Structure 1
Amino acid sequence: MTDDRIPPPLTGDERTVLNNWLEWHRGTLAVKCAGLSEEQLRLRSAPPSSMSLLGLVRHMAHVERAWFRHILNDEDVPRLWGKDQRVDADFDDVDTASAEEAFATWQAEIEHARTLSAALPLDAVGKRRRHGQDCTHRWILVHMIEEYARHNGHADLLRERIDGVTGE
């Protein structure tokens, strides 16, 4: 399994530290999925959960889009994977989903998020409110790190179940 991640620096300004931790966690999910077949990526955790590595990639593509495009930049783009009709479609509908499409969509959303993020100060307030409250670009970055960290824990367990591979 190839691991091209660059460890986050132990020193640096706030933006550098936040961006590097977010990149570390984005890379961690990619590492957890590396080298697996579509069939392996679709393997579910344990009932009643419908979680799989492919579902996590689809979910994180949605999360990147929701926070950066919708909340931070007020872009009018549709929700991914049929989530308008079913909230867990990103996790539930992986049996026939294309891994290639999911990874390409995830990477496109990451690139879009990087571009938006680079153009804004950390104290910029999102153009849309979340549950009636404003949130800053800084808060969104911290939340994204938390979201990836939580789901990377799930990815650790899923990968270990698939082929025994463990690691940071």
Structure 2
Amino acid sequence: MSEQEYVPFFANVQLSPTAEGDDRPPLPTTGSEREILTAFLDWHRATFELKCRGVAAARLSDRAIPPSGLSLHGLVRHLAGIERWWIRQHFAGEDLPMLNYSDEDPDQGFDRLDGDVEAAFAAWRVERNRARTIVAEAPSLDATCRSPVTGKEISLRYILVNLIAEYARHNGHADLLRERIDGATGL
């Protein structure tokens, strides 16, 4: 087979599905590194929100896949904390308390589902929006910070890739949770 005849399996895959209610913008296939990384991160953020859309508030706390304790409510609490941890606390150096985490109870974001679900989504949106602003204002993806945990220098590029991976992993969890809750798939 010549190189010209080879067609990769993903050649005809649409990068941004257009299912009913899917308001995610299409992913760019060209652009600067910052444009590509931030677009993919925003796409994954929007994917998570889409997977939760239409679920009754009471069902968002369902731990639908035993023995796992994961729930959509717990995931949104965790993702709010992750946004704060990586962008605001690490990269921007903001002196803020951890969200839904302590050394004594590191899984509280997933385990403690007290509180209003809408408040959890509001907190996540605040963290997401603040993270977007910080990233947009950074001089370059080469800008660095020092990890308070490891002491290693890390770049904004590394943080963005890490966040994309975090969202991709949890979007897979959200897929399974949503399907178990109401049968919705392919969001």
TM-score by length of 1: 0.94
Change over 3 Å in CA distance of 1:10–1:130 after alignment to 2: farther
Look up the match of 1:166.
185
Look up the match of 1:106.
124
Q: Distance in 1 between matches of 2:159 and 2:141?
A: 9
2:154 aligned counterpart, secondary structure: coil
Look up the match of 2:95.
76
Q: How many angstroms does 1:130 deviate by?
A: 4.2
Q: How many angstroms does 1:156 deviate by?
A: 0.4
Look up the match of 2:14.
none
* Correspondence list, 1:41-56, <5 A: 41-56=60-75
Change over 3 Å in CA distance of 1:136–1:81 after alignment to 2: same
The RMSD of aligned alpha carbons is 1.4
Q: Provide, for residues 14-38 of structure 1, a one-character-per-residue CA deviation record: whole Å limited to 9, x for no partner.
A: 1110010000000000000001112
Q: Does 1:39 align with 2:58?
A: yes
Look up the match of 2:107.
88
Task: Give the ranges of 4+ consecutive aligned residues of structure 1 lying more than 6 Å apart after TM superposition.
Answer: none
Q: Is the 8 A contact 2:144 2:154 kept in 1?
A: yes
1:18 aligned counterpart, secondary structure: helix
TM-score by length of 2: 0.85
Task: Kindly provide the amino acid, as one letter, of the partner of residue 58 in structure 1.
Answer: R
Q: How many angstroms does 1:126 deviate by?
A: 1.6
Identity among equivalent positions (%) equals 49
* Correspondence list, 1:22-37, <5 A: 22-37=41-56
Say which of 19, 23, 27 aligns to 1:8. 27
1:101 aligned counterpart, secondary structure: helix
Look up the match of 2:80.
61
Q: How many angstroms does 1:83 deviate by?
A: 3.2
Q: How many angstroms does 1:45 deviate by?
A: 3.2
Q: Is the 8 A contact 1:126 1:134 kept in 2?
A: yes
Q: How many angstroms does 1:97 deviate by?
A: 2.3
Q: Distance in 2 between matches of 1:159 and 1:41?
A: 9
Comparing 82-91 with 4-13, greater Cα deviation is found at 82-91
Question: Rg: which structure is higher?
Answer: 2
Q: How many pairs are equivalent? A: 167
Q: Provide, for residues 118-154 of structure 1, a one-character-per-residue CA deviation record: whole Å limited to 9, x for no partner.
A: 1111000025444221110000001100000000000
Look up the match of 1:115.
133
Q: Is the 8 A contact 1:74 1:127 kept in 2?
A: no
Q: Distance in 1 between matches of 2:122 and 2:102?
A: 18
Change over 3 Å in CA distance of 1:85–1:129 after alignment to 2: closer
Q: Distance in 1 between matches of 2:27 and 2:53?
A: 21
The structure with the largest helix share of the pair is: 1
